[in-house]
Amino acid sequence: MESIWTQTCNHREKRPPLDRQIEADVAVIGGGMAGILTAWQLEQAGVRTVVLEADQIGQGQTKNTTAKITVQHGLFCHTFLEKKGEETARNYVQANQEAVKEYKRIIKEEGINCDLTEADSFVYSSDREKLRQETKAAQRLGIRADLKEQIEIPVPCAGAVCFPNQAEFHPLKFLYALADTLKVYEDSQVKEVEDHLVKTSLGSVKADYIVFAAHFPFINFPGMYFTRMHQERSYVLALENTGRIEGMYIGDGEEKLSFRQYDRYLLLGGQGHRTGENKSGGCYQKLKEAAQAYYPDSRVAACWSAQDCITADSIPFIGAYASDRPGWLVASGFQKWGMSSSMVSAMLLRDKICNIENPYAETFAPSRFSTEEIPQIARDSGHAVKGLAKRFFHVPEETANMLERGHGAVVETSQGKMGVYKSEEGELFKVDIVCPHLGCELTWNPDEQSWDCPCHGSRFDVRGNLLDGPAQEGIQYE
Ligand SMILES: Cc1cc2nc3c(=O)[nH]c(=O)nc-3n(C[C@H](O)[C@H](O)[C@H](O)COP(=O)(O)OP(=O)(O)OC[C@H]3O[C@@H](n4cnc5c(N)ncnc54)[C@H](O)[C@@H]3O)c2cc1C
Ligand code: FES
């Protein structure tokens, strides 16, 4: 089903693809929140910028976000202070605080009608001590933070940490308004990047700088971002008949449900899992059960899901793509906080390109390395090895005949192992099960009826069409 953002935004005609050779100061790859904001900030600074979008602006993860604009990225202040030290924690907080302010400034000064609402942000938890620690840590980092004993949503908890004066908006209304002022080519998937030349199937851009804002940096070497990030997917319901809430909420720990209001809808999110690891499904069902428990009179008006890149040290990668590619820049790894992180990216990359010193550059630089990353990188590599090994050693127990209608599985066929989906009408859809990114075996996601890769999170529909990267092509379909 389409997200509430797609359903409540005017249809836009697609812009024509790039069909010739052009030149620009900067070529931005990807027309999501990160790419459009970066291009807009650059244009404002007088830098000639073009955006190349594989499909249509905003139709990647951005159309499926919950669009809270906040510095409060979970209960992170205490952990950041302990693990990363005062300077990094402070830089992270300040960069995001400036990003929240910048959204408010742009929307006001440009007169953008995108349903911006100022709202307090809360993280609730059943661990009172953790909340107390977080409040103190946030205050030490310069954030106005209050410990609340009671909150307006009916979840069991010991209270919440509140960051006042954050914001929420309609992401597509905002994105389209900014994009209207930019040079954007849609249906222009970047196929190859050679030094300063970006190639699509019909044209190319020669640019001094190239910004990879394609959600997952899809060029594997150099950079090797696939070794330092994985993707996690989560699910959202838009509920009607719940009554209104004023704040934006997210839980800490196991019961990590997210709540915000948009118009007459309450958006309830959760059931996160590593992409490619949802074999038994039931994510929407569990969210519906939570909705019933907390809002017995509610009705589901829409449901959707999205995914985001998770870095090993919980800080996005914003800055130089690789030391041997001068002019290549990247913005990725937003940890499901890509509204503020996209604005941080746009401001940092603008400053880098315009040669302006930015005090937060080192904190987000992809070249950083801390020992904190090692255990997560080891876990991610373990997943990749498992995904690859599965391709060679996993012998499916099922055959296509055993599949129930509406279900999919990796099965043994006369052509070898294949991914097979049996539609409600009994039609079989067979796909190659090898991920074109780096060759792991795909798994079935019953909630989205898609083939998902457990290694780095690429996704494909039942006909093999590419849904999400890092893969850049579909899989074979019979
Ligand atoms: C369920 C969920 C809820 C969330 N809620 C929030 C929230 O409340 N607040 C918050 O701050 N963050 C939230 N996030 C995170 C946020 O939505 C994302 O971080 C953000 O939308 C990512 O934007 P992006 O521009 O990086 O990626 P995208 O929006 O995916 O844009 C990337 C674009 O690049 C294009 N592309 C890919 N490859 C190529 C290529 N080769 N050539 C040209 N174009 C290409 C794609 O088509 C796509 O349009 C949430 C995430 C999830 C999963
Ligand atoms: S996404 Fe990397 S192997 Fe599939």
63 C-alpha to center of ligand 1: Å? 8
Collapsing DSSP to helix, strand or coil, 118 comes out as strand
Taking CB atoms and a 6 Å cutoff, what residues make up the pocket around ligand 2? 226, 435, 437-440, 453, 455-458, 470-471
Q: Whose CA is nearest to atom 3 of ligand 2?
A: 438
pLDDT < 70 regions, the chain:
255, 387-393, 395
Q: What is the atom index within ligand 1 of the atom nearest the CA of 56?
A: 49
CB neighbours of residue 14 within 10 Å: 11
Q: What per-residue confidence (pLDDT) applies to 392?
A: 64
Collapsing DSSP to helix, strand or coil, 54 comes out as coil
156 C-alpha to center of ligand 1: Å? 31
Q: Whose CA is nearest to atom 1 of ligand 2?
A: 456
Angstrom distance (rounded) from CA 108 to CA 101: 11
Identify the helix (H) or strand (E) that includes residue 172: helix 171-179
Relative to the alpha carbon of 470, which ligand is closest? Answer: 2
List C-alpha distances in Å: 157 to 148, 150, 250, 290: 11, 8, 12, 15
CB neighbours of residue 106 within 10 Å: 20
Relative to the alpha carbon of 456, which ligand is closest? Answer: 2
Q: Whose CA is nearest to atom 4 of ligand 1?
A: 65
- Packing angle between helix 33-44 and helix 171-179, nearest 10 degrees? 40
Q: What is the atom index within ligand 2 of the atom nearest the CA of 384?
A: 3
Mutation choice for ligand 1 from 14, 62, 232, CB with most ligand atoms inside 8 A:
62
Mutation choice for ligand 2 from 231, 385, 433, 455, CB with most ligand atoms inside 8 A:
455
Taking CB atoms and a 6 Å cutoff, what residues make up the pocket around ligand 1? 29-35, 52-55, 59-62, 65-68, 189-190, 213-215, 218, 234, 236, 269, 306-308, 334, 336-340, 342, 469, 472
Q: What per-residue confidence (pLDDT) applies to 26?
A: 98
Q: What per-residue confidence (pLDDT) applies to 437?
A: 97
Mutation choice for ligand 1 from 1, 6, 66, CB with most ligand atoms inside 8 A:
66
Collapsing DSSP to helix, strand or coil, 430 comes out as strand
Q: Got the DSSP string for 299-346?
A: EEEEEEEEEEEEETTSS-EEEES-TTSTTEEEEE--TT-HHHHHHHHH
Q: Whose CA is nearest to atom 35 of ligand 1?
A: 30
405 C-alpha to center of ligand 1: Å? 32
Tokens of residue 141, six digits:
């980092």
Domain boundaries 377-468, corresponding CATH code: 2.102.10.10
Are 9 and 170 in contact by the 8 Å Cβ rule? The answer is: yes
Tokens of residue 18, six digits:
């790039």
Angstrom distance (rounded) from CA 147 to CA 167: 19
**Backbone torsion region of residue 107, taken as left when φ is above 0, otherwise alpha when ψ lies between -120 and 50, otherwise beta:** alpha
CB neighbours of residue 363 within 10 Å: 23
Collapsing DSSP to helix, strand or coil, 26 comes out as strand
223 C-alpha to center of ligand 1: Å? 20
Amino acid found at 104: K
Amino acid found at 116: L
Going from N- to C-terminal start, the domains of the chain cover: 4-65+173-227+314-370, 114-167+230-311, 377-468
Class of domain 114-167+230-311: alpha beta
What size, in residues, is the chain?
A: 478
Q: What is the atom index within ligand 2 of the atom nearest the CA of 388?
A: 3
Q: What is the atom index within ligand 1 of the atom nearest the CA of 200?
A: 42
Q: How far from the centroid of its chain's Cα atoms is residue 209's Cα?
A: 24
CATH fold, domain 4-65+173-227+314-370, is: FAD/NAD(P)-binding domain (3.50.50)
335 C-alpha to center of ligand 1: Å? 11
Mutation choice for ligand 2 from 218, 392, 443, 458, CB with most ligand atoms inside 8 A:
458
Q: What per-residue confidence (pLDDT) applies to 395?
A: 67
